[in-house]
Amino acid sequence: MVSIPWRTGVNMREFAYYGYPGLPNFFAPAALQRQQAETLRGMGVKVVRFYASHRQVATDATAQRVRAACDVLAQHGMQAIICLDDAHAVAGWCVPGYDDLHTEVNSHYNKRFFTQELWRAKYLPHISAIVTAVKDHPGVLLFELGNEYAIHPRSPEPNRADAQAFITFARVVSETIKAIAPKKLVSTGLVNTRHVANLIDEVPPRTFSRQLHALPGIDAISLHYYFHDGEKQFVANDMEVARALGKPFYIGEFGAEFGKVDRLAYYRAELQEWRSAGAFVAMPWAFDTSPNDVGVSDLYSFARIKGDFDALRGVVQSFSTNVPAFELTPAAGTGTQPQPTNPTPTPPTPAGTGTPPANTGTGTGSTAGGTTPNRATGTLTPVAGTFSSVPAFVIQSPAPWQYDILARFNEPAAYGKREGLLIKPKVNTGLLTVNAVQRGRVTKIENYPPGYGLYVCIEHRWYGETYVSWYGHLAQSYVKVGDYVNAGSPVGVAGDSGSADVVSLFLTLQWLGKGGKGYVIEDVIDPLAVMQAALPPRDEVTFDAHVTVPDNTVFQAGAIFKKTWRVRNTGNTTWQNYQLTFFSGTPMGPGTAVPIPVVRPGELVQLSVDLVAPSMTGNQVSRWAIRNAAGQIFRSELTAAISVQGREQGTRRSLARFVADVTIPDGSPIAPGQRFTKTWRVMNDGNTTWDGGYRMSYESGERMNTPNDIPLPALRPRQVGDVSVDLVAPTAPGRYRVTYQPFDSAGQPFDFDMYAEITVDPAVNQPRPVNSADILPSPVRGNYTIGWKFNAPVPYLDGRHKGVDYVARGTGNPIFAGAEGVVFSSERCGICTPDRPNFAAHGISIASATAQGLFNRPTQWNFGFGNLVIVRYDWSALPKRARDAMAARNLTNGFAFVFYAHLLDIFVSSGQAVNATTQIGTLGNSGNSTGPHLHLEVRLGRESRDYLRPIQLLDPELMFGL
């Protein structure tokens, strides 16, 4: 039996993501994380439960955030209960890639996630990486498989097959976690087992609870209970099972709605009851000590913005105890802790076909240094006496040719246990290229005639671990020491060098410090155990050098500088439509995303951002990360670290700051030889007045018929003005840039550059084919109904509805563009959060919204539209019914600006080209919204900015289907 002394804890679902800019609701500073932890330490709290995953965040970045959060907790004497996934995906705290399964009540998973074992594809590798990142971390107490899983739909109620599917899920996942982190506790994260029990066959929930919680990988039993719940009996069932099995239990969430009950009395009674019943912790929902709502404070939250916050803090503190951090060891209880079961190792099989085993294959495996590949789960199960944990590393076959396996890992050899695989080509003709099994750097090339002959070693860094692949018996090497290679890059040619008596390849794989012992090469593991038919996509970047502005460069406050990093794409994906985006720290400027050029795997690239030294003196750091085309940020933190000094008083200093491209944004298509005018908007950011002598002069790049000098506008400090130049596009297709340097009236240059960048495209002036469709398809996929139509009476503004509402039962329906266009604006609501997305959730009525001007000015609510995307459709892209209606208004060859409003998620960025298959985002409930819906509004104009005033509206039914 495992015994855990009582301790106090709280829920802080968002704790790992404070200050994370990729998520719309986390605009709170990263310092809030430490502030929260310090407050909790003062209350005597020992446990914080937070969620690990978010649907917008890639696995690597998730693992990084979780580890950083655990670092903070450990520094403050606390431990984490890490919830690996959330069934309630409406809030976004779920494993990425399952949006099509979050279709049930409150965005729960459809039961196919369990019954069809769809969790194996993305969930299992994702959570395995997170667990691996913190497997030995002192700040981790327990991993939950997920938050409040349930079998849905419940009409009919779950049957025997449904219940068994959940047990299979819990068994495989819990054993996977225990194999990686054997000293950490594991629980299901359920409310209670009635939600996943077999109810059709009337199996008592208590019976099912015993079946589930008796699994050897489940160490503890989780329970949730809120004031409004009526499931105390089922909670009692699971508590009895916990006592019968000798396993600890805890209350993962409890709470009551603010204003509906005396919460002080309720929390005091609940903590007393659960402590007396034997729970080791009971955690109130949603603690938040910040003075303003940072998007976490729902009706049940334990938050400073609620009037009873300080009193509730006193209640929790009165139940605190000074207990040490808990670690699962044999001494932790009166017996031994639960251990994962070990299947019997599969004996070595005869030489195969050379096809690498897939994680979900059904064939037999080979004993891997005392381990066996578990073909059902895609994991390795440790066997006594061998290496103790499971590598997250994956490799591909080194041979693009068919082969037989002559000798397998761990088989007896004349020199002891065989340390790798000996593979022989089926047909020995031509050059038999040997490829790298994973990306890495060549560390050794040697020739050892008695053994490996000519061999190459490649070092691979992976999730903080180091692996080395060895390629022996080569006839020729294609690489040199220090080379970076991609997975699949040629390393050499298979041969018969060394002790080989036939043309072959000997492949050895080390896991340094973790692999098997007693071999001629230490720390080896079975290559077949981690070999996959195809490597999964992986976004990854590695910092190479600071090209400009080394760390701790000194700047005066307000100085403008360009920070450039050199990085390598060390993943296996091509960066196309990727962006460099502000991540955390000091923004040092607008904090906007910067497009990244196309970068193939293995390539080096320089990434630059224009920054401004902040007014705060001292050491300042701005952190930047890479966002992929799907909007996910992966582990790529790049830092600009500077030391800021105050501006020298009385010193004249000329500075300029770029504000906007008024015309011809970067990369605009221009016809060959076409004349055009480039206009920039700039700010005088120095302390001098720009008089008639200030100018900018040609510095570099394609001249494009530019004059040598262009006058700067007369501006006083902090004033903004426009500067223009007439240019002529080159005649040859391609991308061109002309750059200018500013000078003051004394002829001295100052620190700034201005450039015009275009793409010469011969097709620009060619007539585009006109859309032949009569109407575009509905922008909404999935089930929906139509609510307010065009010109319907509404209780705000002028009383008329300006679009069409597509109404859904819940959020998340995909929204598509339907035709070719360009994203004119992509703006997130600065106040909307998944828990509090709209006016009503923030206590704002229509009347007060009107009084505050939330409908008619660009506030954080985006004019009441919430999360908003505006797509501009040219005349040629419009369907016939829309063109006919515009022609009747004398707007032939005009534009249609389509507003997609109240979105949950946005998947496109300003300036991005879209087409009929482009998903703009997902249907939501943000801004001026009383339920999940898409507000679709069509505005017309002759020019690019005519959509603002005066507004000319088009009935969306003339453009889109309903």
* 917-950: pLDDT as tens digits: 888 889 999 988 989 999 999 998 876 444 445 6
What pLDDT is attached to residue 657? 78
* 714 close to 679: Cβ distance less than 8 angstroms: no
- In contact, 269 and 262? CB cutoff 8 Å: no
CA dist 779 and 436 (Å) reads 45
For the segment 194-245, what is each residue's pLDDT rounded down to a tens digit? 899 887 766 677 788 888 998 989 999 999 998 877 777 788 889 988 888 8
When mean pLDDT is compared across 31-35, 49-53, 634-638, the lowest value belongs to 634-638
Check: CB of residue 391 under 8 Å from CB of residue 467. Answer: yes
**Position 851 pLDDT exceeds 90:** no
Task: Name the average pLDDT for the chain.
Answer: 83
Q: 250-254, 387-391, 482-486, 487-491: which has the minimum mean pLDDT?
A: 387-391
Most confident of 130-144, 633-647, 818-832: 130-144
* Cα(206)–Cα(204) distance, integer angstroms: 5
Tokens representing residue 33 in the block:
């994380």
Q: Name, in order, each residue with C-beta under 8 angstroms of 244's C-beta and a sequence gap of 6 or more.
A: 210
422-436 tens-digit pLDDT: 999 998 877 899 999
680: tokens are 């920039």
In the three-class reduction of DSSP (H, G, I as helix; E, B as strand; rest coil), residue 189 is classed as coil
Residue 956's pLDDT band (boundaries 50, 70, 90)?
very high
Query: Looking at residue 555, what is its pLDDT?
Result: 87
Query: Which amino acid is located at 509 in the chain?
Result: L
List of residues 6+ apart from 390 with CB closer than 8 A? 128, 132, 176, 179, 180, 379, 380, 382
> Residue 590: CB partners within 8 Å, gap ≥ 6?
none
Q: Is the pLDDT of residue 651 over 80?
A: no
Minimal CA–CA distance to 266: which of 191, 224, 307, 316?
316
465-469, 551-555, 612-616, 877-881: range with lowest mean pLDDT: 612-616
Q: Is the pLDDT of residue 769 over 90?
A: no
CA–CA separation, 912 and 578 (whole Å): 12
Which pLDDT band, with edges at 50, 70 and 90, does 374 fall under?
very low
Evaluate if residue 341 carries a pLDDT over 50. Answer: no
885: tokens are: 């209606």
Question: Looking at the predicted structure, is the pLDDT value of residue 730 above 60?
Answer: yes
Q: Cβ distance 35 to 289 under 8 Å?
A: yes
**Range list of β-strands (E), 331-437:** 372-374, 379-381, 403-407, 412-413, 416-417, 420-425, 433-435
Mean pLDDT is lowest, of 128-137, 449-458, 531-540, for 531-540
Q: Which residue has the tokens 């050098």?
A: 545
The mean pLDDT of 843-848, rounded to a whole number, is 79
Q: Rg (Cα) of the chain, in Å, rounded?
A: 31
**Mean pLDDT of all residues in 30-39:** 85
Q: Report residue 21's pLDDT band, with 50, 70 and 90 as the boundaries.
A: low
Distance CA 704, CA 734 (A): 13
Task: Give 76-87 pLDDT, tens digit per residue.
Answer: 999 999 999 999
Lowest pLDDT segment from 376-380, 511-515, 638-642: 376-380
What's the pLDDT score for residue 8?
A: 97
The answer to whether the predicted template modeling score (pTM) of the entire model surpasses 0.85 is no
> pLDDT class for 618, splitting at 50, 70, 90?
confident
Confidence category of residue 383, pLDDT binned at 50, 70, 90: very low
The answer to whether 894 touches 888, Cβ cutoff 8 Å, is no
Is residue 705 pLDDT above 50, yes or no?
yes
- Using one digit for the tens of pLDDT, what is the confidence trace for 276-293? 889 999 999 999 888 766
Q: Where are the alpha helices (DSSP H) in 600-667?
A: none
Q: What pLDDT score does 350 carry?
A: 26
Nearest to 142 by CA among 247, 277, 14: 247
pLDDT reading at 666 higher than 70? yes
* Structure confidence at residue 855 as a pLDDT band (50, 70, 90): confident
At 368 the pLDDT is: 26
Question: What per-residue confidence (pLDDT) applies to 9?
Answer: 97
What SS3 state is found at 731? coil
pLDDT score for 786: 95
For residue 23, what pLDDT is reported?
66
Contact indicator for 753, 656 with CB cutoff of 8 Å: no
Q: What is the mean pLDDT of residues 340-354?
A: 26
**Pairing state between β 140-144 and 185-187:** parallel
The single residue listed with the structure tokens 């966002």 is 627
- Mean pLDDT of the region 716-734: 88
Residue 650, pLDDT above cutoff 90: no
